[in-house]
A = this chain, B = another copy of it.
Amino acid sequence: MFLENYWYCAALPHEVDARPLRRVICNEPVVFYRDTKGKPVALEDRCSHRQAPLSTGEIRGDNIQCNYHGFVFDRDGACVHIPHQDTIPNRAHIRAYPVTEKWGFIWIWRGEAAKADIAKIPHLPWTTDAGRSPVYLYFYVKANHQLVADNLLDISHADYLHSDTLGSKSGIMGGPQPEKVEFRTWQEGDEVHSFRKLTNVEVASYPKKWGNFTSNVNRTNIQMWEAPNTVHVHLEFENNENKILINHDHIMTPETDTTTHYFMDFTRNFGLDGNQYPTDDEIYQEQHSVISGDDLPMVESQQENINLCKGVVDVPVKADKLISAVHRHLADMYLAQDISVPSYVLVQR
């Protein structure tokens, strides 16, 4: 069971093109296509007639036609044509999901259609800011979505998992400590925030290249989690040489309890001329390689251990304050929707 009455990120716009796209979202098969105006449509990917996926069918104007026996459905899921038959039974209609394209992602609403307010979509205004350039990524992950979120909510893992690319090597046993660590976590309505600033730390190899830094920097992470499962990261690297800004946003949508559609934008204020390092392509390659190479194998191996060792719980540390706050808040949200709290939420409180 998944939280209802939220927008879930479903696809990158280019994935919904001339052919319908099938994607399982929260255990439900959904077909995405575009109508004649280019607006995305999201229907149950299961023909009411005999359970064929509509995604193997044909887009007919604003409608989609099942390729098995030709039932036709409109954008609202209404069955509008049954071959060789004039009457259309009510139960031939299928579920349509409110769907919209915003900030470079396609979002669907799970829950009561009447409540589907597009103002509730996570705000990513930097993606459309003139002084910024967003790069978009999609990953398919063989692990629960919350494990991916937990990965993003703890900034401390960068020092180990990404020690060659993004880490500051702070906190290593017997190693140098940063001069000062500021860390605060707070909640605002349905959002959980954290602020973490490391003063005078060695700059990791990637931000070093991005900002042409030659000496230590102050590194600021501002993170915000919002339901159902988005993590916003605002990142600054600064010293007397330069200051660079990055917003990266991570939106994890459950496919099933143990698999995840993971969407991301990486929006920077540097390397914008398109010729010099880092270009959009180079940023894409760097991010893809770090996430596919470091983070996803890690969360997938956590999932394997969790499968093997039923009932294990985490031992939260200070750096997990944000994770614990999110898990506590999530537990409340599930209970408020009369859904029993999933084990992957209870694992850390």
A66 within 8 A of B: yes
In the assembled complex, how far is the CB of residue A83 from the closest CB belonging to chain B, in whole angstroms?
3
A234 within 8 A of B: no
In the assembled complex, how far is the CB of residue A311 from the closest CB belonging to chain B, in whole angstroms?
11
Q: Give A78-102 interface residues, CB cut-off 8 Å to B.
A: 80-85, 89, 91-92
Q: Which chain B residue has the least Cβ–Cβ distance from A44? A: B309
User: B70 contacts A27, CB within 8 Å?
Assistant: no
Contact with B along A35-50 (1 / 0, CB 8 A): 0000000000110111
List the B side residues contacting A302 at CB < 8 Å.
50-53
A161 within 8 A of B: yes
User: B91 contacts A46, CB within 8 Å?
Assistant: no
A298 within 8 A of B: yes
List the B side residues contacting A52 at CB < 8 Å.
298, 301-302, 305
Q: Which of B24, B51, B69 contacts A312 (CB 8 A)?
A: B51
List the B side residues contacting A92 at CB < 8 Å.
315
In the assembled complex, how far is the CB of residue A261 from the closest CB belonging to chain B, in whole angstroms?
15
A171 within 8 A of B: yes
Q: Which of B56, B315, B348 contacts A91 (CB 8 A)?
A: B315
A318 within 8 A of B: yes
Q: Which chain B residue has the least Cβ–Cβ distance from A57? A: B160
Question: How many angstroms from the CA of A72 to the CA of B308 in the assembled complex?
Answer: 22
Question: How many angstroms from the CA of A80 to the CA of B173 in the assembled complex?
Answer: 9
For the complex of A and B, the 5 pairs showing the least CB-CB separation, nearest first, are A83-B171, A81-B173, A51-B305, A70-B160, A51-B302
12 further A-B pairs in the complex, CB-CB below 8 A; given A83-B173, A85-B318: A27-B308, A45-B305, A48-B315, A49-B315, A50-B320, A53-B301, A56-B301, A68-B161, A68-B298, A69-B317, A82-B317, A89-B315
